């Protein structure tokens, strides 16, 4: 089994000293940098805009995994590409024409991700799974960091893995919310490929070591 991809969520970073946190990430075993974009409409919180993502892009050459928690994501696909996104994840719940949006993300030159909220069933992706590069399973209700992990996520991950195998797709499974050193191995055993970790990394006394532990959880 391959080692997991670790995607620290910069929503938990120190914005008074972002450069230091990015230097830590650049020296870490994390492959992705996870960036949450929230509009205060789709979720009850507001986060990064384009100028901040562009500024982050200058601080790191790591893979930018941008997660849109916004309404009408289609309006901004090309703008996020220009800002430096390499994967663009949109929410199933915010997309009226999911297949078309996935095609547009690919056409813009990015990988296409689809996120689903805790209440959304994985079988709703059955008709599009082969076109999706990454499914982001929300293991907390989206909007705020530091929430309690939803235990049903293990079973949901297994069901999504079964769907991917059934459809002979190459889709990766990403878990976002409440990922910790305590639940990471069980998530990976359930079929997860990518672990998004915010507070677990940035609130750690030794973030580099925490990332290393997550990365080598399957040893």
Dist. CA 54–CA 150, nearest whole Å: 33
- Positions of E strands within 25-120: 32-38, 63-69, 87-91, 111-116
For the chain, how many structural domains are there in total? Answer: 1
Dist. CA 118–CA 138, nearest whole Å: 6
What is the CATH number for 50? Answer: 3.20.20.70
Q: Is 206 tagged catalytic? A: no
- Contact 32/211 with Cβ under 8 angstroms? no
**Eight-class DSSP state of 134:** E
Q: Which domain holds residue 87?
A: 5-215
Dist. CA 188–CA 114, nearest whole Å: 19
Name the catalytic one among 36, 39, 65, 133.
36
- The answer for residues whose C-beta is within 8 angstroms of residue 75's C-beta and 6 or more apart is none
Name the catalytic one among 21, 39, 176, 193.
176
pLDDT by 10s per residue, the chain, length 219: 689 999 999 999 998 899 999 999 999 999 999 999 999 999 888 888 898 999 999 999 999 999 999 999 999 999 999 999 999 999 999 999 999 999 999 999 999 999 999 999 999 999 999 999 999 999 998 876 667 899 999 999 999 999 999 999 999 999 999 999 999 999 999 999 999 999 999 999 999 999 999 999 876
Name the pTM for this structure. Answer: 0.95
SS3 content of the chain, % helix, strand, coil (to 5): 40, 20, 40
Q: Is 162 tagged catalytic? A: no
């Amino acid at each position: 089994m391959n080692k997991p991809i670790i995607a620290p969520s910069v929503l938990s970073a120190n914005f008074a000293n972002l450069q230091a946190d990015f230097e830590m990430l650049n020296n870490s075993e994390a492959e992705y940098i996870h960036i949450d974009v929230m509009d205060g409409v789709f979720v009850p919180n507001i986060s990064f805009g384009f100028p901040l993502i562009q500024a982050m892009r200058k601080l790191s050459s790591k893979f930018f995994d941008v997660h849109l928690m916004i309404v009408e994501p289609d309006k901004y696909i090309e703008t996020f590409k220009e800002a430096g996104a390499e994967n663009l994840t949109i929410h199933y719940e915010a997309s009226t024409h999911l297949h078309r949006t996935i095609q547009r993300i690919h056409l813009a030159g990015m990988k296409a991700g689809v996120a689903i909220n805790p209440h959304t069933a994985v079988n709703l992706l059955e008709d599009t799974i082969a076109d999706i590069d990454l499914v982001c399973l929300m293991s907390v209700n989206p909007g705020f960091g530091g929430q309690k992990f939803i235990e049903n996520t293990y079973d949901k991950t297994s069901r999504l893995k079964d769907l991917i195998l059934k459809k002979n797709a190459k889709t990766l499974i990403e878990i976002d919310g409440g990922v910790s050193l305590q639940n990471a191995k069980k998530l990976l055993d359930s079929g997860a490929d990518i672990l998004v970790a915010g507070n677990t990394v940035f609130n750690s006394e030794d973030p580099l070591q925490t990332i290393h532990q997550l990365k080598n959880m399957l040893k």
